[in-house]
Amino acid sequence: MLCIKCKQTAWVEVRRHHSAFCRSHFLDYFDNQVLKAVREERMFTQDDRILVAISGGKDSLALWDVLLRHGYQADGLYIDLGIAEYSDHSRAKSEAFAAARDAALRVVELEQDYGHGVKGLAQHARRVPCSACGLSKRYLFNKVALEGGYRVVATGHNLDDEVATLLGNLLHWQMGYLSRQSPVLEATHPGLVKKVKPLFRLTEQETVSYAIIQGIDYVPEECPMAQGARSLVYKEVLNLLEKHSPGAKHNLLLGFLEKGRPVFREVDNTELRECEQCGQPTTTPVCAFCRMMDVVRLREREPRSGQRGRRPHAAAPSSEAVMTTADG
Ligand code: Q46
Ligand code: ZN
Ligand code: ZN
């Protein structure tokens, strides 16, 4: 197989575009896809300060790498979830990446600031870990960005993540989530920061290829809590579909964004107000994060014997699990 640009031996095949690239032309392709997403979806400009949500995985580090190489004002935010060795490894990789590029990385420690890591929060709040994690991350991304004067938060969600989320939301007809499924969520309240996903046109495999070519040292293992997540099943199903019909994932997502999104957007009439406790925008008097922390504090005070015979809820709402397990 030859590179379609220079006819040298190809290193990466991109079947959905009937293309193959050598290492150097693949980098051009990858950059172009990110810059096209940024430009066409009006995500941000060179004048904006961007906060990139960093997990230490391939997607978030690849995204940060592209943005820094193209001169964007991109700082990182790493949230230490307190998940034993996984958090230790991913934090070390994130800090090493930032140090090597002289880039600014903010770190928030859940355990230090909120008394528990993800597991502890989940146990006390009687939620599954991914539900407590997703809620905490969404809350902290917005809070840290707002306090730090960033105009936009960028996450490393790729095409596979986005199409798996779409499939999950379609299977359960989650009208609210479908109305907000987009590579760009505008700041519709002064207390909200714009959220963008510049990798939404690129697959997981392409991000891996980019990270390898660029020599990015990312944490290869998945978060241990991801085991059994429904989003992984959706990804398997979609990969099978893609194998038999190259371009299926791209067509489903891009088709939805072009034709479905405008229809679903009409059902999004949520009114935002400020949380009575923390002031962050919410649809309810007290935001979901503060409500979770109230439950956690209440349960912390319960005598241990009072917990006998109680069991955590078996599962969070399925949509929540889908929405919160997509970040690489
Ligand atoms: S980090 Fe958090 Fe994911 Fe781990 S606990 Fe679940 S949601 S799987 S993207
Ligand atoms: Zn080439
Ligand atoms: Zn709140």
Residue 196 near residue 152 (C-beta atoms within 8 A)? yes
* Residue 111 exposed, middle or buried by CB count within 10 Å (0-12, 13-18, 19+): middle
**What pLDDT shows up at residue 310?**
42
Q: Which residues surround ligand 2, an ion (CB under 5 A)?
A: 3, 5-6, 22, 25
What pLDDT, on a 0 to 100 scale, did the predictor assign at position 153?
98
Q: What tens digit of pLDDT does each residue of 93-107 get?
A: 999 999 999 999 999
- Mean pLDDT, residues 19-39: 98
| Residue 308 predicted with pLDDT over 50 | no
Q: Is the minimum distance from the CB of 122 to ligand 1 under 6 angstroms?
A: no
SS3 155: coil
Return the ligand number nearest the Cα of 29: 2
Whether residue 324 has its Cβ less than 6 Å from ligand 1: yes
Span 222-250, average pLDDT:
93
Q: How far is the CA of 279 from the centre of ligand 3 (A)?
A: 6
- Taking phi over 0 as left and psi of -120 to 50 as alpha, with beta for the rest, 42 belongs to left
Give 304's pLDDT tier (boundaries 50, 70, 90).
Answer: low
**Sequence-separated (6 or more) residues with CB below 8 Å from residue 79:** 53, 107, 108, 110, 136, 137, 140
The fold of 23-270 is Rossmann fold (3.40.50)
pLDDT of residue 229: 86
Ligand nearest to the CA of 227: 1
Report the 10 Å Cβ neighbour count for 274: 15
Residue 123 CA to ligand 3 center (angstroms) comes to 20
Look up the pTM and report it. Answer: 0.90
- CA-CA distance, 234 to 249, in Å (whole number)? 11
Q: Which residues of 157-169 are buried (b: 16+ CB within 10 A; e: fewer)?
A: bbbbbbbbbbbbb
Contacts of 193 (CB under 8 A, 6+ apart): 51, 141, 142, 145, 146, 150, 151, 152, 153, 187
The ligand 1 atom nearest the CA atom of 325: 9
> How do residues 309-326 score in pLDDT, each as one tens digit?
444 433 333 333 333 222
Q: Which ligand is nearest to the CA of 19?
A: 2
How far apart are the CA of 214 and the centre of ligand 2, in A?
Answer: 16
Digit-coded pLDDT (tens) for 143-192 = 999 999 999 999 999 999 999 999 999 999 999 899 999 999 999 999 99
**Cβ of residue 134 lying under 6 Å from some atom of ligand 1:** yes
Task: Please choose from 155, 225, 323 the residue to mutate so as to test ligand 1's pocket, defined by most ligand atoms within 8 A of CB.
Answer: 225
Rounded to whole angstroms, the Cα distance separating 44 from 106 reads 20
> Cβ distance 53 to 161 under 8 Å?
no
Beta bridge partners of 109: 80
Instruction: Answer whether residue 77 shows pLDDT above 90.
Output: yes
Question: In the prediction, which pLDDT does 323 show?
Answer: 32
Q: Which of 89, 108, 223 to mutate to test the pocket of ligand 1 (most atoms within 8 A of CB)?
A: 223
CA 85 – ligand 1 centroid, Å:
14
On the question of pLDDT at 218 being above 70, the answer is yes
Atom of ligand 1 nearest to the CA of 328: 9
Domain layout of the chain by residue ranges: 23-270
Rounded-to-integer distance, Cα 26 and Cα 24, Å:
5
